[in-house]
Amino acid sequence: MTDIGPLIETFATGGILDETEISVAQVETLRAMGMDVAAGKDGKYRLSSPLELLEASRVRDSMSDVTNDAVRDIECHLQIDSTNTRLMTMPSSLAMGRLCLAELQTAGRGRRGRTWQSPFGENIYMSLGWRVPVGVSVSGVSLVVGMAITRALRSLGYMDLGLKWPNDVLVEVQGTYRKLAGILLEMGAPVNGDHAIVIGVGVNVAMSGQASAMIDQPFATLRDMTPVQIGGREFDFSRNRVVAAILNCLIPELLRYNLTGFTPFVPLWAEYDLFFGKRISVRSADQEMTGIHGGIDQEGQLIIDIDGRQRIFNAGEISLHLADGASNAMSS
């Protein structure tokens, strides 16, 4: 990546390179990463469409004072195996308050070991290191993160969004729920007794045809959707601003969680839960069960009514989906 990093930055600023400045092998490498490098009639290379790179300074420009104070460091990578892995492999004391962003992940992952497709320069791949005080349960953090991201995207004009427990951000498109964003939380080594958490977030902003073909579930991107104009302004698809908007919603909620735990967030969940009251199927490692989605308990665990009996599940145990024949219309 070191030999092509300057080339990427040149193209991202609208630069044009001739054959003395970029080799055929380098062009092919960039194309393999997903960059649309085209050769003009003049023999010079340029991007077919504009590219906005993620930049720490541009993210900070749109962050609130509270967010800026909480995020002590931002690092941006052109390529990385995984933003979560980056923070998980450094000492927890250094990872806390650090934001890691990447243009491309070679080993991006989601919940339950699933691969997260991470083409270059198209989406948002970010991880945040965070501490939760000793004595405060971390069981509800995942749900709080999901609610904050949903609210952030709604603030940008994307109103018809909701959550599938515990934290998948979905949108309904022509009768089918499609995944717009996902979250992966991992626990690091404790810091002075406090819980150390790495919060990984992936948001689909755009998706090339090649990457789309490798995704094995319905998905949506921000570019596929039409945002509602808020205050007369139109959304400009700046990934830097989307990152800042997410952090501006997320950081205050994490700070609140550290003080109160999950209890005050429990009644808020119903506003976001798309599957509440619907017939769902839950799958564990060795069985599948069907019942009625009954919401969450005080710890953020899933409640399901199965044959008249309530069953409680935590996020690490199961995956869920609508049962066959259940309504797939988005809740208001």
Residue 329 pLDDT exceeds 50: no
Q: pLDDT at position 214, please?
A: 54
Phi-psi region of 177 (alpha: psi -120 to 50; beta: other; left: phi over 0): beta
Check residue 267 and report its DSSP letter. G
pLDDT digits (tens, 9 = 90+) for 271-309: 999 999 999 999 887 888 999 999 999 999 999 999 999
Instruction: Share the mean pLDDT of the chain.
Output: 85
Measuring CA to CA, which residue among 246, 225, 113 is closest to residue 173?
A: 225
Break the chain into its structural domains and give their ranges: 5-47, 56-270, 275-322
- Among 24-28, 48-52, 99-103, name the one with the lowest average pLDDT: 48-52
For the chain, how many helices (H) and strands (E)?
9, 14
Cα–Cα dist 202/211, whole Å: 14
Measuring CA to CA, which residue among 144, 199, 150 is closest to residue 166?
A: 144
Q: pLDDT at position 118, please?
A: 61
Q: Return the CATH fold of 275-322.
A: SH3 type barrels. (2.30.30)
Q: Return the CATH fold of 56-270.
A: BirA Bifunctional Protein; domain 2 (3.30.930)
Judge contact between 222 and 206, C-beta under 8 A: yes
Judge contact between 185 and 199, C-beta under 8 A: yes
Residue 327 pLDDT exceeds 70: no
Please give the model's pTM, rounded to 2 decimal places: 0.86
Mean of pLDDT values over 231-238: 60
- Among 9-13, 77-81, 261-265, name the one with the lowest average pLDDT: 9-13
Mean of pLDDT values over 10-39: 80
Q: pLDDT at position 231, please?
A: 53
Polymer length in residues for the chain:
332
pLDDT digits (tens, 9 = 90+) for 98-147: 999 999 888 765 555 555 556 788 889 999 999 999 999 999 999 999 99
Mean of pLDDT values over 205-219: 62
Q: pLDDT at position 320, please?
A: 87
Q: pLDDT at position 153, please?
A: 94
Judge contact between 235 and 225, C-beta under 8 A: no
Q: pLDDT at position 236, please?
A: 59
